[in-house]
Amino acid sequence: MNIALEGALKLKEISYVHAEGYAGGELKHGPIAMIDDQMVVVVLAPQDRWHDKTISNLEEVKARGAKILGIGTRGDQMLSSLCHHFIGLPPGIEEDLMPFLLVTAVQLFSYELAVLKGTDIDQPRNLAKSVTVE
């Protein structure tokens, strides 16, 4: 879930896109009520121990008409068939190392979206680059 939160934070900071990060298990506890055909959902679904549950949640998201960007293991036909767009990560990565690839993918996605929108990535508005102590 921390990676989803990081991705949402970066989308807000440099792309000025409202985003929220949720663990897959939280989907049915409120967020699913907001999903419709106007929403874009980014799903992080590598082939790990939660893959089947994530796919089950994604099927519910798709049934509600959301546009889906999937980030998962390259060659994952089940995941890619549910997504409108798919970013494939290298197969064979140990589960403990997968967060490093996922966080890089969500940060690069945020960066590329900011570039497409024409925002100033180096000087985000209303964002302090340092913490000051009073």
Percent of the chain surpassing pLDDT 70 = 94
Closest to 124 (Cα-Cα) out of 2, 9, 7, 6: 9
pLDDT digits 0-9 by tens, 18-29:
999 998 888 888
Residue 62: what pLDDT? 96
Question: Which of 28, 67, 117, 129 does the annotation list as catalytic?
Answer: 129
C-alpha dihedral sign at 40, 41, 42, 45: negative
* 2-117 homologous superfamily: Glucose-6-phosphate isomerase like protein; domain 1 (3.40.50.10490)
Cα angle vertex 44, ends 22, 76, to 5°? Answer: 150
Q: What is the pLDDT of residues 39-92, one digit of tens each?
A: 999 999 999 999 999 999 999 999 999 999 999 999 999 999 999 999 999 999
pLDDT value of residue 57: 93
Task: Clarify whether 129 is annotated catalytic.
Answer: yes
Q: Are 69 and 42 in contact (CB under 8 A)?
A: yes
